Amino acid sequence: MTHTNPEFQPASLDAWAKAAAKSAPGGDVNALNWLTPDGISVKPLYTAEDTQNLPYANTLPGFEPYLRGPQATMYAVRPWTIRQYAGFSTAEESNAFYRKALAAGGQGVSVAFDLATHRGYDSDHPRVTGDVGKAGVAIDSVEDMKILFDQIPLDKVSVSMTMNGAVLPVLAGYVVAAEEQGVSQDKLSGTIQNDILKEFMVRNTYIYPPEPSMKIIGDIIEYTAKHMPKFNSISISGYHMQEAGANQALELAFTLADGKEYVKTAIAKGMDVDDFAGRLSFFWAIGMNFYLEVAKMRAARLLWCRIMKGFDAKNPKSLMLRTHCQTSGWSLTEQDPYNNVVRTTIEAMAAVFGGTQSLHTNSFDEAIALPTEFSARIARNTQLIIQEETHITNVIDPWAGSYMMEKLTQDMADAAWAIIEEVEAMGGMTKAVDSGWAKLKIEAAAAEKQARIDSGKDVIVGVNKYKLKTEDAIEARDIDNVAVRDSQIARLNAIRQQRDAARVQQALKAIEEAAASGNGNLLDLSIKAVRARATVGEISDAMEKSFGRHRADTQKVTGVYAAAFDTDTTAGDTMDYWNALKAEIEEFAAGQGRRPRVMISKLGQDGHDRGAKVVATAFADLGFDVDMGPLFQTPEECARQAIENDVHAVGVSTLAAGHKTLVPAIIAELRKQGADDIIVFVGGVVPRQDYDFLYQSGVKGIYGPGTPIPVSAKDVLNQIKKALA
């Protein structure tokens, strides 16, 4: 029986607009609209009119186009998988962490490898002295991999591995470790990231150029489709794009365009799309734009279904986008870090409302150092509380039918599709990456975002608003890099002495010949080499002889950062500071006969260059002359370039915990080469407990996460003046 109230007369939209105009700025309701970084206009009010013409607003979960989720029952039957992304120091230490996490409610293992492993170097290579065991676990051979998964049943626990550059020896090591545990390949479940295109855009842990890298991906998809049917052969990753500065529409578009390129690669090998597409998975970053993140994930499933239909995929599993999510690392702040617990919870909720299949929640201290057991437990319990206490899991896609969310989902899909079509017009994502266009789009978005924060337009609580007068000390995990490297070298030496050297050389020669000819499956050959006890570095070197090692360009965007400091919307005192600093730099140039010149550098194997590129852009917009050092420099190479370029200062961007080794080394090299007058400053993730050590080593300025760039630029200028006085 339907009850009606004859006295109730619903108000019209016009009536609402008149009422709202009374409190809207300037009496204009449109002034309440929010223009997102993606160019989407979000209104303050949505009504039924906004969803009248949407073609997918009334679909169901488990059915095309899977907008509401890939499974019909979603979390009502089985919640998402709780993962803990971790890895540090030695295989023994990481193994102990994984086992504790699994015992405390974790449901899968996600492995972070150190940068030496990512870049295909064994721990005894001279280029990785500051990187071994610092930002992930050091893996040199199958013996390390066996320790890493000791007492973790690989036929029952799914394993996710973030690996792209040295993907062949690492995946092969996992397969052989499982074999020697008694687990056959067909029983292995999990995911290998294996997404190299995004490495050329943002993360930079590549080894080989794009073309041979795509051959490696095709070989892995082919091999796993035949021998590892439960294993995801690739995780197409937008996470690192957003972490590098991409807005949600760019992340969505570039990630799906990457996926499209990988499908083309597999089909070109003669594979039927339905033989492998069901094992492709995705990986999204989840940041603080709550509504946009939920809409992004819903739109992603819609667009992937459209893309796969374009390849004539018929199996429903080929049309479903399945995804892992991770809360944002970039949104975490060094200042007032307990706020990060709240940020991570909000981001986790967005991932869940968006329908993720698995989730990693970051620890609150990850803007400072590697997480402690205390912080990791809070991060893991965040997911357990959402799963077990909130009853959110009882309803499938609870945002469905929301006027706002349905319209925003379509708007996000349309914005991303326009970018995908632009990429296709360029000839596909490989060409968009090769040209540098995709990378510059992300870097421009990163510079704009940082400028919005530094100018106060975007609020970060505890950083540019509601700041604490004093910060409490936070316990930070510290890794003894020297001890880890020594133990790895000892294990490497033992392996090399005990193995059959002739068998190893034969296996490596087969890889080298296959890389040169294009014949044979490189994963199959890598597994054979790992069984013979070939190392990660040796297998990588065998392919490098034929493929070569990729070198990235160092071009940067200009003008984007300065554009955010426009007089219309930037606070007066902030604008005054900006203009005064620019004038001071002009005065310096007039007095010295040249502008202050800085070189922004990345040392070691840390390829995360968002901060370096944004700082370079902002300093250039202020009036500095700025040189960008190439990625992966040694301290010796950096010092030589700084002297040759006659710079006043070297800025070291560090995000991978190698600062205590690499920064003193660059200072020592400058002194050794007679350039004591070149000052060194440091920006990035540096625990406050390390500040005194760096200052005593000769560093003149340290600028942690959240430091406004104009403030750091002013300090660097003062230090340069002091050195010249």
Tokens 């009334």 appear where? 58
What is the rounded distance in angstroms from the CA atom of residue 561 to the CA atom of residue 614? 8
Whether a cis peptide bond, with omega within 30° of 0, leads into 65 is: yes
Closest CA to 189 of 383, 393, 358, 388: 358
Q: Which helix (H) or strand (E) holds 35?
A: strand 34-35
Tokens 């120091």 appear where? 89
What is the rounded distance in angstroms from the CA atom of residue 180 to the CA atom of residue 177? 5
What is the rounded distance in angstroms from the CA atom of residue 103 to the CA atom of residue 41? 46
Sheet holding 280-286, edge to edge: 231-232, 190-192, 159-162, 108-112, 81-86, 358-360, 323-327, 280-286, 234-237
Beta bridge partners of 626: 598
How does strand 323-327 pair with strand 41-42?
unpaired
What is the rounded distance in angstroms from the CA atom of residue 628 to the CA atom of residue 448? 19
What is the rounded distance in angstroms from the CA atom of residue 632 to the CA atom of residue 658? 12
Closest CA to 613 of 245, 322, 358: 245
Closest CA to 142 of 159, 164, 117, 160: 117
Catalytic site residues?
A: 85, 239-240, 602, 606, 608
Amino acid at position 608, single letter = H
Say how far residue 556 (Cα) sits from the centre of its chain: 19
The tokens describing 632, both together, are 């992966």
Please, what sign has the CA dihedral across residues 540, 161, 67, 202? negative
Q: How far is CA 452 from CA 277, 565, 622, in A?
A: 40, 8, 16
The dihedral region occupied by 362, where left means phi > 0, alpha psi between -120 and 50, and beta the remainder, is beta
Q: Which helix (H) or strand (E) holds 86?
A: strand 81-86
Give 537's Cβ-side CA count (13 Å radius).
17
Burial class (CB in 10 A: 0-12, 13-18, 19+), 714: middle
Amino acid at position 275, single letter = D
Closest CA to 236 of 291, 171, 164, 294: 164
